[in-house]
Amino acid sequence: MPITEILEENCRKYGNDICLVEINPEIKETKPVSWKEYGLIESNPSNFYRREITWNVFNEKANRFANLLLSRGVKKGDKVGILLMNCLEWLPIYFGALKTGALAVPLNFRYAADEIEYCVNLAEVNILVFGPEFIGRVEEIVDIISKNRILLYVGDGCPAFAESYDKLTANCSSVSPDIKLTDDDYGAIYFSSGTTGFPKAILHKHRSLVHSCKVEQAHHGQTKDDIFLCIPPLYHTGAKMHWFGSFLVGAKSVLLKGTKPKAILEAASNEKCSIVWLLVPWAQDILDAIESGDVKLDDYDLDAWRLMHIGAQPVPPSLISRWKEVFPKHEYDTNYGLSESIGPGAVHLGVENIHKVGAIGKAGYGWETKIVDENGELVKQGDVGELCLKGPGVMDCYFNDPKSTAEVLKGEWLYTGDMAMEDEDGFIFLVDRKKDVVISGGENIYPVQIENFLRANPKIKDAAVIGVPDSRLGEATLAVIELKDGETSTEDEINSFCHKLPRYKRPVHIVFADIPRNPTGKIEKPKLRQIYCGESLVAAQNRG
């Protein structure tokens, strides 16, 4: 069935139940109002803004947008770009596009103007929906992208070069359009994170989207009574596909526009959230804030919180050890996946396997895995090779890019580009990105192993390891170290700490600096290589 049928079913069963809540901690009250009228949280109306909608309203908004698109000539196979920050409008717009038979094309909110232009052209976007945060960037390229393309603006103060989504949809029918969809219809184009170059357009069918709903619910057992706190950006498969587990059972979810520890804990407390998905930096920040006294757990009611899970990047075992000391009752889980495999869950640890923290787990619900060498042959258990995935959530292709598609799709198998090994119990450990492996003096060095070791240092907040040119070894390892607030350290101190590592794994160069991460938490290693491989190491160390 197409994923839109799940929305229709939720309306039939739970139409008057709240499905989505939006909380924005940054909005301040500018005039006295009734907290109930504006959806403010009564206990703290001065610094929280809260909106909510029911399943019926969600579906009506999706239908209005779908009917607007149809009135503008949108047809099956057209593409609707979505350039919005997380908000209540985001998901109804997404499903409204799908109801027409069009493909939803979410765009990264960090894209610069030229990247927006590149992606809308690559995906052949027909309609671009954008919010107030993007007026300047869209205006830079409007003369180029507005040709044969409709621009719709969500919010107050619609710019002259766009049309108002709010005004136009208000006059559209709220009845679901009569468009027949099947599992084999295309549903969405997602963009790769671009950590290895320009983003690629990843094409998925409705079958993939529905499978991601089933995978998430099978792994985390969401029920109608669960409440999911969604913090990461909805343009990314990680956030949306974790939400899909709640969507499948008609459960309520909370969209939090903020990542500060106090905002996360207050939202979890006020909304009685039972499931919270965090990125590694946010979990670290929460623990640091608690340990420093900036946050006092007694100020919050977190009894409903049952599951904390992390994905999108390797998880340092030291972080989970710290977390369980502070939150001993929490179940912990991690998931692995790519946008090419419709996001999280292709590999899954499972809450019952916390003794295997550090592993990404075993093949997820409906998935198969294998680890192969450069010739595509299975490696021996314990050896490192490339992780491959097979299942209903594998992408159809990279849109308009047959060469790149052929590089990663070999038969039914998706070659992930991630290096992994399987232990004696069948658990898979992620070693590193294939392109991030450092070859030094003929030895393969996997940066993730060194990064996890460094993050166990109580002074270190984050660590990233890359290869830099070396006249003798070919490449040498450089560790970029971000210290916790208020901490100081020296190169000698880090070198001494690293004596526990085998000699060939010890970082040759050490730089103290902030570590750039993209919105999904991945370290931006191309940016680090540009910084540290494009200048002398002496200059880099002095600048760091």
Q: What is the pLDDT of residues 48-95, one digit of tens each?
A: 588 999 999 999 999 999 999 999 999 999 999 999 999 999 999 999
Q: What is the pLDDT of residue 418?
A: 86
Is the model more confident about 339 or about 152?
A: 152
- Tell whether the model's pLDDT for residue 327 goes beyond 50: yes
The CATH superfamily label for domain 307-433 reads Luciferase; Domain 3 (2.30.38.10)
> Which of the following CATH numbers is that of domain 4-258: 3.30.565.10, 3.90.1490.10, 3.40.50.12780, 1.10.3720.10?
3.40.50.12780
Please state, rounded to an integer, the average pLDDT across all residues of the chain.
88
Q: What is the pLDDT of residue 197?
A: 53
- What lies within 8 Å, CB to CB, of 294 at 6+ separation is 261, 262
Sign of the Cα torsion 186, 520, 84, 253 reads positive
Q: What is the pLDDT of residue 258?
A: 86
Q: What is the pLDDT of residue 173?
A: 97
Q: What is the pLDDT of residue 313?
A: 64
- What lies within 8 Å, CB to CB, of 528 at 6+ separation is 464, 466, 480, 515, 516
Per-residue confidence at 43, pLDDT binned at 50, 70, 90? Answer: very low
Q: What is the pLDDT of residue 279?
A: 82
Q: What is the pLDDT of residue 503?
A: 81
How far is the CA of 45 from the CAs of 32, 33, 271, 328, in angstroms? 10, 9, 15, 32
Q: What is the pLDDT of residue 31?
A: 34
Is the CB of residue 376 less than 8 Å from the CB of residue 444? no
Q: Is 461 helix (H, G, I), strand (E, B) or coil?
A: strand
The CATH-assigned architecture of domain 437-543 is 2-Layer Sandwich (3.30)
**pLDDT tens-digit map of 395-449:** 999 999 999 999 999 999 999 988 899 999 999 998 766 677 787 765 678 788 8
Domain boundaries defined on the chain: 4-258, 307-433, 437-543
Q: What is the pLDDT of residue 534?
A: 63
Summarize the confidence of residues 305-333 as an average pLDDT: 87
- Which of 8-22, 58-72, 487-501 comes out lowest in average pLDDT? 487-501
Q: E-assigned strands of 349-498? A: 362-363, 368-372, 385-390, 397-398, 409-410, 413-422, 428-433, 438-440, 443-445, 460-470, 474-483
DSSP at 535:
S
How far is the CA of 523 from the CAs of 426, 470, 515, 516, 520, in angstroms? 27, 23, 7, 6, 9
Three-state SS across 500-533?
Answer: HCCHHHCCCEEEECCCCECCCCCECHHHHHHHHC
Most confident segment among 47-56, 169-178, 333-342, 492-501: 169-178
Summarize the confidence of residues 502-514 as an average pLDDT: 89
> What tokens were used for 357?
């923290």
- Tell whether the model's pLDDT for residue 45 goes beyond 70: no
- Tell whether the model's pLDDT for residue 194 goes beyond 70: no
Per-residue confidence at 542, pLDDT binned at 50, 70, 90? Answer: very low
Per-residue confidence at 382, pLDDT binned at 50, 70, 90? Answer: very high
Per-residue confidence at 490, pLDDT binned at 50, 70, 90? Answer: very high
Per-residue confidence at 317, pLDDT binned at 50, 70, 90? Answer: confident
d(CA 350, CA 361): 7
- Tell whether the model's pLDDT for residue 28 goes beyond 70: no
Q: What is the pLDDT of residue 193?
A: 64
Is the CB of residue 104 less than 8 Å from the CB of residue 188? yes
> What tokens were used for 282?
């946010």
What proportion of the chain, given as a percentage, has pLDDT over 70? 90
Summarize the confidence of residues 284-288 as an average pLDDT: 90
Of 167, 317, 169, 339, nearest to 241 by C-alpha is 339
- Tell whether the model's pLDDT for residue 37 goes beyond 60: no
**pLDDT tens-digit map of 215-250:** 999 999 999 999 999 998 899 888 888 999 999 999
Q: What is the pLDDT of residue 188?
A: 97
pTM summary value: 0.81
Per-residue confidence at 541, pLDDT binned at 50, 70, 90? Answer: very low
